[in-house]
Structure 1
Amino acid sequence: MERIGILLADLFDEREFLYPYYRVQEAGYTPVVLGPEAREYRAKSGFAWKAEAGAQEAPALRGLLIPGGFAPDYLRRSPEVLSLVRRVAEEGKPIGAICHAGWVLVSAGLVRGRRVTGFPSIRDDLENAGGLYQEAGVVVDGNLVTAQGPKDLPGFMRAFLDLLGG
Structure 2
Amino acid sequence: MAKIAFLTASEGIEKVELTEPWKAVTDAGFTAELLSPDSGEVQLFDHLDKADTQKVDLEVSKANVDDYAALVLPGGVANPDALRLDKDAIAFVKDFVASGKPVAAICHAPWVLVEADVVRGKRLASFPSVQTDIRNAGGEWVDETVVVEGNLITSRNPDDLPAFNKAILDAVNSGTKGE
Q: Report if TM-score (shorter chain) is over 0.5.
A: yes
Q: How does 1:74-113 map to 2 (within 5 A)?
A: 74-113=82-121
Counterpart among 154, 171, 174 of residue 163 in structure 1: 171
Give the residue type in structure 1 aligned to 2:7.
L
| Pairwise CA distance, 1:50 | 1.6
| Pairwise CA distance, 1:36 | 1.0
Q: Judge conservation of contact 1:61–1:88 (CA < 8 Å) in 2.
A: no
Q: How does 1:6-45 map to 2 (within 5 A)?
A: 6-9=6-9, 10-44=11-45, 45=49
User: Quick one: percent identity of the two aligned structures?
Assistant: 39
| Pairwise CA distance, 1:40 | 1.0
Moved more, 104-113 or 33-42: 33-42
Give 5+ residue unaligned stretches, structure 2. Answer: 175-179
Q: Judge conservation of contact 1:16–1:67 (CA < 8 Å) in 2.
A: yes
| Pairwise CA distance, 1:65 | 0.1
Aligned to 2:62: 57
Classify the secondary structure of the residue corresponding to 2:105: strand
Q: CA RMSD in A?
A: 0.9
CA deviations on 1:112-133 (whole Å, 9 max, x unpaired) are: 0001010001111111111111
Distance 1:140 1:148 in 2: 13
Aligned to 1:5: 5
Which 4+ stretches in 1 moved above 3 angstroms? none
Aligned to 1:148: 156
Q: TM-score, normalised by structure 2?
A: 0.90
Q: Judge conservation of contact 1:138–1:152 (CA < 8 Å) in 2.
A: yes
Q: TM-score, normalised by structure 1?
A: 0.97
Distance 1:58 1:28 in 2: 21
Question: What is the total number of aligned residue pairs between the two structures?
Answer: 166
Moved more, 20-29 or 38-47: 38-47
Give 5+ residue unaligned stretches, structure 1. Answer: none
| Pairwise CA distance, 1:8 | 1.7
CA deviations on 1:21-74 (whole Å, 9 max, x unpaired) are: 111101111001000122211122322112111111124111000000020001
